[in-house]
C-alpha cells in the first residue's frame, strides 16, 4: 500500500511539471508565422513568433524569433508591443542584438507616441486605443542610451510630460540633466527657461524658507548671463523683478510676525534685510515705517513723578501633613521579628521651630 501511494505521488509530480519545448516545436511555430506574415496577418504572425521564442531552447533562435515579432508588430502599427520586444532583446539577448539600432528605434517609437500614436487594443474595434506610454518609452530609451543626438529633445519632451502630470520633482531632475549633459544645445536654452518658470510657479504657491525664490533668482540670472540678447531676455528680467518682490513680501511678513509676537530684536533683522536687499520693492516703505516704530524713543518721566514699587510676593510655609497611624506593624505580620506591636511615634514629634513645643511632644531642635 505504501509503495502504491508513493508511485501515485511521483506520477502526480511528473504530470504537474511543465513540459519543456524543443527547437523543432519552435521551428514549427516559426513556419506558421512566416506564412501568416506573407498573407499580411502581421499581428497573428508576431504572436506565433513569440510562442516560438518560448518553446525554443537555443538563445539564438529565441532572439531571432523575438526580433521577427518586433518587426511584425511594427508592420501592424502596434508600436507599444514592438517596444516590449525591443526591451526584451536589450535585457536578455544583448549579444545577439544591434544595440544602437534597437535603441534608436525606441527613440523613434517614443516620438511617435509623443505625436499622438496609440496602439489599437482590438483590431475589429479600431476606435479603442491603448494607454499613453510616451513617458515610459522615453525613460527606457534614456536609460539604455542617455547621451545620443536624440537625448536632449527626448528629455525636454519628458519634462513637459512630467509637468502635465504635476510631477514637479521629476521635471526639475530632467531639466537639470539637460543643463549638465547638453549645455550648448537648443534644448538647454528651453530647459533653463522651463526650470526658472517652474521655480517661480512654486514660489508663488508659498515659499516659507525662500528656497524656490532663491533657485528662481539663480536660474534667471544664469539665463541672462548666458543669453543676454535672447528674445526671452525681457521676460527673464521682468520675472526676476517679480521674484524679488515675492522674496521681499516673504521677508517682510516674517518681520511683521515677530513684531506682533513681541520679538522686536528678530523683527528688526528681517525689516533691515528688506530695506538693504529689496530697496526698490513695494515692501521697503512699510518696512521702514515699522522699523521706525520699533526704534521709537520716549522722553524720560520727571523726577517727581510717582514710581510704582515692584510687587513682592509673600509665600506662607506649610508643612506636609503627616499620616497618623498608631500601629505600624503587628507581630503577626513581622515574620516573628517583633513580639509587641510597633507604634508610629511621628505624630508625637514636633518639627516646626516657629511654634512652641506642645506638651507631650519631643523637640527635634534639641538634638
pLDDT recorded at residue 119: 80
DSSP bridge partners of 264: none
Residue ranges of E strands in 34-187: 120-122, 125-129
Cα–Cα distance between 34 and 48 in angstroms, integer? 9
pLDDT at residue 14 greater than cutoff 50: no
Report helix, strand or coil for 186.
helix
pTM of the model: 0.69
List, in sequence order, every beta strand (DSSP E) within the chain: 120-122, 125-129, 327-329, 342-343, 349-350, 362-363
**Which grid coordinates are listed for 2?**
505504501
The grid coordinates listed for 346 are 511621628
Are the C-beta atoms of residues 274 and 251 closer than 8 Å to each other?
yes
pLDDT, tens digit, 9 for 90 and up, residues 51-110:
888 988 888 999 999 999 999 999 988 999 999 999 999 999 988 889 999 999 999 999
Read off φ and ψ for residue 89, nearest 5 degrees: -65, -40
19 falls in which pLDDT band (50, 70, 90)?
Answer: very low
pLDDT in tens, 109-134: 999 999 988 887 766 556 577 788 99
Q: What is the CA radius of gyration of the chain?
A: 43
Dist. CA 76–CA 250, nearest whole Å: 58
Q: Which residue has the higher pLDDT, 206 or 165?
A: 165
Contact 216, 243 (CB under 8 A): yes
For 197-215, write each residue's pLDDT tens digit: 999 999 988 777 889 999 9
Give the pLDDT score at 357.
Answer: 54
Cβ 75 vs Cβ 42: under 8 Å: yes
pLDDT of residue 286: 85
- Domain 184-294: give its CATH code: 1.25.40.10
Closest listed residue to residue 158, CA positions, set 184, 197, 189, 191:
191
Please identify which residue in the block is written with the cell numbers 513540459. Answer: 19
Instruction: Give dist(CA 336, CA 334) in Å, integer.
Output: 5
Spell out the domain ranges in the chain: 184-294
CB atoms within 10 A of CB 282: 12
Percent share of the chain, pLDDT over 70: 79
Q: Are 358 and 350 in contact (CB under 8 A)?
A: yes
CA-to-CA distance for 218 and 205, rounded, in angstroms?
19
Taking alpha carbons only, the member of 145, 174, 142 closest to residue 159 is 174
- If one counts every other C-beta atom within 10 angstroms of the C-beta of residue 7, the result is 10
- Asked if 200 and 239 touch (Cβ cutoff 8 Å), the reply is yes
Give the pLDDT confidence score for residue 56 in this predicted structure: 86
Tell me the pLDDT tens digit for each residue of 234-269. 999 999 999 998 998 899 999 989 888 888 888 888
Are the C-beta atoms of residues 176 and 162 closer than 8 Å to each other? no
pLDDT class for 323, splitting at 50, 70, 90? low
Kindly tell me if the per-residue pLDDT of 325 is higher than 80.
no
Classify residue 77 as left (phi > 0), alpha (psi -120 to 50) or beta. left
Helical (H) or strand (E) element with 141: helix 134-144
Q: Mapping DSSP to helix (H, G, I), strand (E, B) and coil, where does residue 58 land?
A: coil
Confidence band of 322 (pLDDT split at 50, 70, 90) = low
What local confidence, expressed as pLDDT, does residue 13 receive? 47
Q: What phi, psi does 317 have (nearest 5°)? A: -95, 130
pLDDT at 364: 46
268-319 confidence digits (pLDDT tens): 888 888 888 888 888 888 888 888 888 775 454 565 655 455 556 677 887 7
Confidence of residue 143 (pLDDT cuts 50, 70, 90): very high
CA distances from 365 to 316, 319, 356 (A): 21, 16, 12
The C-alpha cell of 193 is what?
A: 527657461
Q: Residue 286 is placed in which grid cell?
A: 512699510
Helix (H, G, I), strand (E, B) or coil at 329: strand
pLDDT for the residue numbered 18: 45
How far is CA 295 from its chain centroid? 44
Band (174; pLDDT cuts 50, 70, 90) = very high
Amino acid at each position: 500500500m505504501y509503495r502504491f501511494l508513493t508511485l501515485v505521488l511521483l506520477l502526480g509530480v511528473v504530470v504537474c511539471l511543465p513540459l519543456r519545448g524543443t527547437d523543432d516545436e519552435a521551428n514549427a511555430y516559426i513556419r506558421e508565422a512566416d506564412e501568416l506574415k506573407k498573407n499580411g496577418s502581421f499581428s497573428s504572425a508576431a504572436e506565433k513568433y513569440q510562442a516560438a521564442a518560448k518553446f525554443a531552447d537555443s538563445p539564438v533562435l529565441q532572439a531571432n524569433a523575438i526580433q521577427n515579432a518586433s518587426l511584425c508588430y511594427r508592420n501592424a502599427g502596434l508600436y507599444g508591443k514592438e517596444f516590449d520586444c525591443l526591451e526584451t532583446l536589450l535585457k536578455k539577448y544583448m549579444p545577439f542584438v544591434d544595440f544602437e539600432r534597437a535603441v534608436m528605434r525606441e527613440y523613434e517609437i517614443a516620438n511617435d507616441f509623443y505625436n499622438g500614436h496609440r496602439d489599437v487594443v482590438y483590431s475589429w474595434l479600431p476606435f479603442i486605443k491603448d494607454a499613453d506610454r510616451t513617458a515610459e518609452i522615453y525613460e527606457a530609451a534614456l536609460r539604455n542610451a542617455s547621451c545620443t543626438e536624440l537625448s536632449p529633445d527626448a528629455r525636454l519632451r519628458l519634462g513637459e510630460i512630467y509637468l502635465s502630470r504635476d510631477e514637479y520633482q521629476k521635471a526639475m531632475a530632467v531639466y537639470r540633466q539637460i543643463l549638465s549633459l547638453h549645455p550648448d544645445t537648443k534644448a538647454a536654452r528651453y530647459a533653463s527657461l522651463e526650470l526658472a518658470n517652474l521655480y517661480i510657479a512654486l514660489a508663488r504657491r508659498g515659499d516659507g524658507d525662500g528656497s524656490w525664490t532663491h533657485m528662481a533668482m539663480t536660474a534667471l540670472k544664469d539665463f541672462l548671463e548666458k543669453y543676454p540678447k535672447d528674445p526671452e531676455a525681457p521676460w527673464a528680467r521682468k520675472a526676476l523683478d517679480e521674484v524679488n518682490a515675492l522674496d521681499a513680501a516673504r521677508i517682510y511678513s516674517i518681520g511683521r510676525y515677530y513684531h506682533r509676537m513681541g520679538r522686536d530684536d528678530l523683527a528688526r533683522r528681517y525689516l533691515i534685510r528688506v530695506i538693504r536687499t529689496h530697496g526698490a520693492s513695494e515692501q521697503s516703505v512699510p518696512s521702514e515705517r515699522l522699523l521706525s516704530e520699533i526704534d521709537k524713543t520716549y522722553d524720560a518721566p520727571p523726577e517727581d513723578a510717582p514710581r510704582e514699587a515692584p510687587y513682592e510676593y509673600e509665600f506662607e510655609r506649610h508643612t506636609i501633613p503627616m499620616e497618623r497611624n498608631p500601629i505600624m506593624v503587628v507581630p503577626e505580620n513581622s515574620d516573628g521579628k517583633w513580639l509587641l506591636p510597633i507604634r508610629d511615634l511621628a505624630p508625637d514629634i514636633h518639627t516646626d521651630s516657629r511654634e512652641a513645643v506642645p506638651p507631650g511632644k519631643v523637640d527635634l531642635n534639641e538634638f
